[in-house]
Amino acid sequence: GKVTHRSRFLRSDTYNSNMAANRIVVSEMGTMAYPDPSKNFIFKAITFLNHTVPDFTDNAASNIIKYGNDYYATSETNYIRKIDPFTLETQDKVDYMKFLPVNLVSSHPHYDREGNVYNVGTSIAEKGKTKYIFFQIPAVTEKEKDKNTPALKKVKVICTVPCHSLLSPSYYHSFGMTENYIIFIEQPFKLDILKMATAYMRGVNWASCMKFFPEENTLIHLIEKKTGKKVEMKYHTGSLVVYHHVNAFEDDGHVVLDVIAYNDTSLYEMFYMSRLKKDISFQSNGYTKPNYRRFVLPIRSDKGIAVGENMVKLRYTTATAVKQKEGKLTCQAEVLCEGFELPRINYDFNGKKHQFVYGNIVEESVLSTQVAKFDTETKKMVHWSEENCWPSEPVFVPRPNGESEDDGVVLVSVINCIPGQSSFILILDGRNFKEVARANVNTELHRDMHGFFIPHTN
């Protein structure tokens, strides 16, 4: 077969304004914008709290997503960038705020079998309230296929969940979805809105405006997709930090929720340039490796069940949900494995019970040198690695009419750091995890976080 590869940087307004001014003028998570002092930034700080975020970056470096028939590069701000999936040309800049009052939006939406898209955003201090907004972008109909209107025009709000605090909503990077439920983790890793609003004047980066509260519990919200109603049961667990959901599914009156969880925020600290410039082959004292945790949320009413009793009735997991007073459940996860991140499944099994997960090994450091396939039933793992190679997140592509969950290929972009040798796109067999092919590329590959496979027919 023939493999071609295109690689280009998307030129954002952020990039253009920074180049034109010959300095950084727009804030990113780790970079502070030093603003033009002639502008009234006190006014900007105040308007920030009235749902106008000042100059959030449009540098969409986190993920590629699909809304309707269109593809976008996205970060976690209110701006996304439409791209041509074939030429990779940068097209329209789209502002969520024109369609929905959200300042921050997850870069990991979910897609159902009908083509509807689900996502969550945070609305900051809008009408005096800060809330999480769960929304659906309906599938494109036959009539609309040739129209050039953004799919976001048809956005529907499923429900809103109030934040516990007006000025410190939870940070989140993704969420879970089953056939009937949306699962949202409200964790004690929070954004300090006042600090963010004044970051310009104080000359600090926005990453420093996030704070972890290890003494606080984590809340898990279960929302009915069809009605937008929250399940009455209140699910609590200890403090943790989650960036990536693996999958979620329903089983005999329970929702099983698989996530990659950390005990603290040391992952964020590891991405500062000063840390990355150190020898990345050894484990830093400041790095707490993640583990793959399985939570089980019983949906049925707890009437007639005694306080202190475990309500989980599934036999294949040691996860528990112990009844407390007033409809509260304290959830304890089962740890399936450790040192595993950037999880991807066969997306045909999204919202269904899955067996296999593909990801990066991060035992030693956040910069992974191995990709792996993990079997959730046997708890066994197989690996691929090559000396002096740095693989990105593995992306599973199912074989059309495949015979099994792992019948397909795994795509990995690999940076080769041997001088004079090419980086390459690696193709692994989804079942035995052995190399099928590789495509060397005569261009520099850069470390990416997330990938998206776009079939040529689209």
Q: Are residues 208 and 310 in the same domain?
A: yes
Which residue, of 109, 130, 161, is where some domain finishes?
Answer: 161
- Asked if 190 and 307 sit in the same domain, the reply is yes
424, pLDDT greater than 60: yes
Task: Looking at the structure, tell me whether residues 67 and 23 fall in a common domain.
Answer: yes
Residues 397 and 271 in one domain: no
Residue 432 — very low, low, confident or very high, per pLDDT cuts 50/70/90? Answer: very high
- 156-208 tens-digit pLDDT: 999 999 998 888 999 999 999 999 999 999 999 999 888 887 776 677 676 78
Same domain membership, residue 87 and residue 223:
no
pLDDT of residue 357: 98
Residue 410 and residue 389 share a domain: yes
Same domain, 45 and 125: yes
Work out the pLDDT band at 449, boundaries 50, 70, 90.
confident
Check whether residue 277 and residue 291 sit in a common domain. Answer: yes
Which range of residues forms the domain containing residue 439? 346-457
Examine the domain organization and report whether 115 and 143 are in the same domain.
Answer: yes
Same domain (yes/no): 253, 321: yes
Burial 194-232 (b: 16+ CB within 10 A, else e): ebbbbbbeeeeebbebbebeeeeebbbbbbebeebeebe
Q: Which of 178-182, 208-212, 226-230, 232-236 has the lowest mean pLDDT?
A: 208-212
Instruction: Please say which residue of 319, 338, 357 terminates a domain.
Output: 338
Question: Residue 359 burial by CB count (10 A; 0-12/13-18/19+): exposed, middle or buried?
Answer: buried
Q: CB of 153 within 8 A of CB of 124? A: no
Q: How many separate domains does the chain show?
A: 3
260 vs 90, higher pLDDT: 260
108 among annotated binding-site residues: yes
My answer on whether 17 and 92 are in the same domain is yes
If you count DSSP H runs as helices and E runs as strands, how many of each does the chain have, helices first? 6, 30
Looking at residue 134, its pLDDT comes to 97
Rounded to two decimals, the pTM is 0.86
Q: Is 110 within any annotated ligand binding site?
A: no
**Which region among 55-59, 101-105, 225-229, 385-389 has the lowest average model confidence (pLDDT)?**
55-59
CA distance 192 to 169: 8
Pair (154, 209) in one structural domain: no
Q: Which helix (H) or strand (E) holds 48?
A: helix 41-48
Query: Which residue, 161, 188, 209, sits at the end of a domain?
Result: 161
Distance separating alpha carbons of residues 94 and 79, to the nearest angstrom? 6
